[in-house]
Amino acid sequence: MSATDDENDGQATERVVIRDRRKIDPKAESKAPAAKGKAQVGAHRAAEPEQETPQAAQPEESKPGLGAELEALRTDLEERTHDLQRVTAEYANYRKRVDRDRGAAAEQTTGAVLTALLPVLDDIDRAREHGDLSGPFASVAESLTTVTGKLGLVPFGEKGDPFDPNRHEAVAHQTSADVTEPTCVEVMRRGYTLGERLLRPAMVAVADPE
């Protein structure tokens, strides 16, 4: 092969390369990366797992032992309620008993003091019957009677009262056409009560119907 032939072959090859370069479309080259990107995005989306649609929360199934536990709690609550009611009733009864005992103790103490003063009151009654209750002594007697009355001392026993063996002590008996039932016709000593308590019975003479 001659040098001229080699040159011709080189020129031909260069022409072919140039022609091949001209055949490449620039627009096609710009579209190729975009298509490739779309293909990659599509492949990525295909690779991603599908998200499950959230569903409404299902109610938990009741546990087998829940009913028994509730029943045990209910029974325990009833027992505690009954215990509280019993304790409350016992405390109420205790308070009533304490108040009653306190009142009885106070009445007993007051009764003891008033019982000790009864002889003084008897002297005042005798002085009043004989007309000797006058002057400063009358004022003292009136004050003492007022104080004992405030403490709850109540005298009883008057002529003409029906005879009551629970309240009167009969020291004399007689008959009379002026009465239709046993009657106190004379009072030797008055009786006294403190509330419902009898401190001393009245000493009387009784007349029975004829």
Q: Which CATH architecture has domain 154-210?
A: Roll (2.30)
Residue 183 near residue 164 (C-beta atoms within 8 A): no
Among 165, 185, 188, 158, smallest CA distance to 173 is for 185
Minimum mean pLDDT range among 28-32, 98-102, 159-163, 205-209: 28-32
pLDDT the model gives residue 134: 85
Q: What's CA 23's distance to the chain center, in Å?
A: 103
Tell me the C-alpha distance between 80 and 92, whole Å: 18
Global pTM? 0.56
Strand boundaries in the chain, DSSP class E = 153-156, 168-176, 183-189, 191-194, 197-200, 202-209
Does 113 have pLDDT greater than 60? Answer: yes
Tell me the C-alpha distance between 111 and 42, whole Å: 113
The full set of domain ranges for the chain reads 69-151, 154-210
Share of the chain above pLDDT 70, in %: 70
Interval 175-203: pLDDT, tens: 998 999 999 999 999 999 998 899 999 99
Taking the CB of residue 165, how many other CB atoms lie within 10 A of it? Answer: 10
The runs of H, that is alpha helices, within 130-169 are: 136-150
Residue 122 near residue 155 (C-beta atoms within 8 A): no
Residue 133 near residue 127 (C-beta atoms within 8 A): yes
The residues pairing with 170 across neighbouring beta strands, listed in sequence order, are 204
110 class by beta-carbon count within 10 Å (0-12 exposed, 13-18 middle, 19+ buried): middle
Tell me the C-alpha distance between 26 and 191, whole Å: 144
pLDDT the model gives residue 103: 87
Q: Please, which pLDDT band fits residue 64 given cuts at 50, 70 and 90?
A: low
